Copies of this chain bind each other. A is one copy, B any other.
Amino acid sequence: VEIIKKKIGIVGGGQLGKMMILEAKRLGFYVTVLDPDAQCSAHSICDHHIIASFDDPKGYLELSKLTDVITYEFEHINAKALENLESEGHLIYPSVTALKTIQNKYSQKTALKAGEIPIPKFAGVETPAEIREYGKPENLGYPLMLKTTTGGYDGKGNALIRDEADVEKAFARLGSGKKELMVEEFIAFEKEISIIACRGINGEKTVYPVAENTHKDSILDITAVPAKIDAAAGEKASSIANEVMSVFEGVGTFCIEMFVTAGGDIYVNEVAPRPHNSGHYTIEACFANQFENHIRAIVGLPFGDTSLITPAVMVNLIGESDGTAKLLGLEKAYLDPHVHVHLYGKKQSRKGRKMGHYTVVGNTFNDTVDNTLKRAQDLKSIIRVVGE
């Protein structure tokens, strides 16, 4: 099939799927979305919408019949169904092997370790007694992270064990052993950073700048670019991101989240096989954004330039309350000509729901990230999403 006539399928019609489609449509691709929600963010701009559960193999089969290549906007999907399609020759990017390895945090960390990527020490556990064993000072010690190996996102599925007295509570909170568990060395990090990286069908790679993330209530709050880390740490982080892309041999856009310690050590915390919230700044601040390069990757095109045009700060617009979504302060926010607001089209606001984001870019090419960050933070009390 000629590149431009390839029909694209996307599992998931949330904001990431929507933003993939906005880029795919610039090139005129035909896009089908699989999502159970008839009113999902991608609904109004996709060519075809299969309304089916993410578990239902029939939905995936239908998607494969309507498309030449399938990608996905999140990883908690039916890998088995995709595996069957892949084994029948259907193109799935990133590959199902990459998806399955990354879906499970234990196998993800095992693969990263085998690839000699710096990561926190970790181990699979089944009982409180085993957790206590890893909590001993001669072992991983406290504080200790307990995680479910699957299904976690935005801090869900994680529990911090401060000391031995926390073990039973954390074990109970994460399902009392009904879900597969792992423990992980607690890294006393100074900063959380992330890098968006892309890998093509022929193995070519490109890496975006280092971004610095801050979370609030375990949800990404702010991404500031470039990260305020020294040049050596920045180079090390870029090099690690580049190596991670070889570990999974994935095709598409990935996000590599990392911790930086006060001593400048870097540990990979988590890898996502898809465009990522911490890469939204690329829409305004890079020549080719993470969604455009994702589409280029999966259809077999070379990448656009991933370098930074100006400092940029992205702030998530999180629903403050439940009800019909209402955006406040847009007119006032736009008095700054370097602010761009994105709304995902979700009709209902819920407290803690990602409703949109805004990106503030530098006032000049040589503006500082600190100055840009201050402008972005000043807008937080102005531009808000509430339910009413």
- A100 within 8 A of partner (CB): no
- A288 within 8 A of partner (CB): yes
Bound complex: CA A66 to CA B200 (Å):
43
Most chain-B Cβ atoms within 10 A of its Cβ — which of A25, A304, A339? A25
Q: Per-residue CB proximity of A316-329 to B under 8 Å, as 1/0?
A: 00000000001100
Bound complex: CA A181 to CA B45 (Å):
43
Bound complex: CA A45 to CA B361 (Å):
28
Which of A110-118, A223-231, A262-270, A294-302 sits within the interface? Answer: A294-302
- A356 within 8 A of partner (CB): yes
Closest residue of chain B to A48 (Cβ to Cβ) is: B44
Partner of A44, one of B47, B302, B326, B342: B47
One complex includes copies of this chain to the number of: 2
- A26 within 8 A of partner (CB): yes
Given known pairs A22-B22, A361-B287, A365-B365, the reply for A337 and B303 (CB within 8 Å) is yes
- A4 within 8 A of partner (CB): yes
Partner of A331, one of B45, B300, B334: B300
- Contact status A330-B45, CB under 8 Å: no
- A2 within 8 A of partner (CB): yes
- Contact status A341-B45, CB under 8 Å: no
- A338 within 8 A of partner (CB): yes
Chain A: interface size category: 35 or more
Closest residue of chain B to A341 (Cβ to Cβ) is: B27
Partner of A338, one of B304, B327, B334, B338: B304
Q: How far is the CB of A14 from chain B (nearest CB, A)?
A: 13
Query: What residues on B are CB-neighbors of A18 within 8 Å?
Result: 25
Closest residue of chain B to A44 (Cβ to Cβ) is: B47
Query: What residues on B are CB-neighbors of A341 within 8 Å?
Result: 27
- A232 within 8 A of partner (CB): no
- Contact status B284-A284, CB under 8 Å: no
- A28 within 8 A of partner (CB): yes
Query: What residues on B are CB-neighbors of A309 within 8 Å?
Result: 309
- Contact status B2-A327, CB under 8 Å: yes
Q: Per-residue CB proximity of A20-56 to B under 8 Å, as 1/0?
A: 0010011110100000000000001111000000000
Bound complex: CA A185 to CA B184 (Å):
80
Bound complex: CA A337 to CA B335 (Å):
33
- A378 within 8 A of partner (CB): no
Query: What residues on B are CB-neighbors of A44 within 8 Å?
Result: 25, 30, 45-47
In the A-B complex, the 4 residue pairs with the smallest Cβ-Cβ separation, listed nearest first, are A28-B343, A28-B345, A305-B337, A302-B334
What would 27 A/B residue contacts be, using CB atoms closer than 8 Å?
A3-B330, A4-B327, A4-B330, A22-B26, A25-B44, A26-B342, A26-B343, A27-B341, A27-B342, A28-B343, A28-B356, A30-B44, A44-B45, A44-B46, A44-B47, A284-B287, A287-B337, A287-B338, A288-B337, A288-B340, A300-B331, A301-B334, A302-B331, A302-B335, A303-B334, A303-B337, A304-B334
Using a CB–CB cutoff of 8 Å, the interface residues on chain A facing chain B are 2-4, 18, 22, 25-28, 30, 44-47, 284, 287-288, 296, 300-305, 309, 326-327, 330-331, 334-335, 337-345, 356, 361, 365
Contacts A304-B334, A304-B338 supplied; 14 other A-B pairs, CB < 8 Å: A22-B22, A26-B340, A27-B341, A27-B342, A28-B344, A30-B44, A44-B45, A44-B46, A45-B45, A287-B361, A301-B331, A301-B334, A304-B339, A305-B337
